[in-house]
Amino acid sequence: MDTKELLKKVRKIEIKTRRLSDHIFGGEYHSTFKGRGMTFSEVRQYQFGDDVRNIDWNVTARYNEPYVKVFEEERELTMMLMVDVSGSEIFGTDKQFKNEIVTEIAATLAFSATQNNDKIGLILFSDIVELYIPPKKSRSHVLRIIRELIEFNPKNKQTNFSEALKFLSSVMKKKAIVFVLSDFITDHYQQTLKIAAKRHDITGIRVYDKHEASIPNLGMVQMQDAETGERLLVNTGSKKIRQNYSQFYNTKVAYYKESFNKSGAGHIDSRIDESYVKKLLGYFKNR
């Protein structure tokens, strides 16, 4: 992809996702993810209805009239976006691939965090950590994240979510808001997730295609595993083969839901032909 085409794509995603974060998600994000607490801001004269417990007695005695302490939310938060860039993300049977929807969701969340003056970082992972961008503030930083999501070419194709979580724990010592975007067609991460979720506020966003859940009866078809590259001639006319595949897929989805529920982390399912806007809004409001 040449520079001109890349910048055009980045700009297109910025316009769409920034509009969403400005008009829809900004307030919901702020109210869902609170700051570290309340910090003292100033004192002002007492007004009818103020909580008497906030009266500053020293200032009141000095000026011979009641003054109250004003507090504000200490907002400094860090959002980490953990994005699966393994081979299975480059799949889609409708208008968009899964990785394109993932980029839009990640950009929307990043701009929502920026609007609230929070830092945003990025971890791209396959079966290794492919890229780490430390958390920072600013629009230019978010645009860099979007560029990486669009054009990054991973070294590996397979998935190891557990390794990515271990890396998160090693680089983020303080509590962070963590969104993991993946299709979660993987396993062996439940215990690592449970440990990470004790420190961080983690939400899994499963982005999937409706045609992944089952194989249609198309007779003999050559298929390629997106993560291993292995090519196989599959008899999709076999009921047993179709059942085995559906069972494999459903097992991975069940493991994902069980793992996030047991760890106390949140999770969202977003099909690529559905509105991720409604899914995110519903999740924020339910929190």
d(CA 20, CA 253): 29
Dihedrals phi, psi of 45, to nearest 5 degrees? -65, 145
Do 201 and 153 fall into the same domain? yes
What is the residue range of 42's domain?
37-74
Do 190 and 60 fall into the same domain? no
Do 132 and 176 fall into the same domain? yes
Helix (H, G, I), strand (E, B) or coil at 130: strand
Contact 178, 169 (CB under 8 A): no
Helices (H), the chain: 3-20, 26-32, 57-63, 98-115, 139-151, 161-171, 190-199, 239-263, 276-286
Do 137 and 237 fall into the same domain? yes
Do 60 and 80 fall into the same domain? no
Do 58 and 104 fall into the same domain? no
Residue 119 confidence (pLDDT): 92
Do 55 and 196 fall into the same domain? no
Contact 148, 165 (CB under 8 A): no
Residue 125 confidence (pLDDT): 97
Residue 107 confidence (pLDDT): 92
Residue 51 confidence (pLDDT): 86
d(CA 224, CA 230): 6
User: Terminal CA-to-CA distance of the chain, rounded, Å?
Assistant: 40
Do 140 and 66 fall into the same domain? no
Of 74, 101, 127, the domain-final residue: 74
Do 185 and 153 fall into the same domain? yes
Do 213 and 122 fall into the same domain? yes
Residue 211 confidence (pLDDT): 84
What are 46-79's pLDDT values in tens digits? Answer: 888 888 888 999 988 988 999 888 765 555 789 9
Number of domains within the chain:
2
Residue 203 confidence (pLDDT): 97
Residue 13 confidence (pLDDT): 83
Do 24 and 127 fall into the same domain? yes
Radius of gyration of the CA atoms of the chain, in A: 23
Do 127 and 194 fall into the same domain? yes
Residue 251 confidence (pLDDT): 95
CATH number, domain of 255, equals: 3.40.50.410
Of 74, 92, 124, the domain-final residue: 74
The pTM of this model reads 0.80
Of 56, 74, 92, the domain-final residue: 74
Q: Which residues of the chain are under the pLDDT cut of 70?
A: 1-2, 23-41, 71-75, 90-95
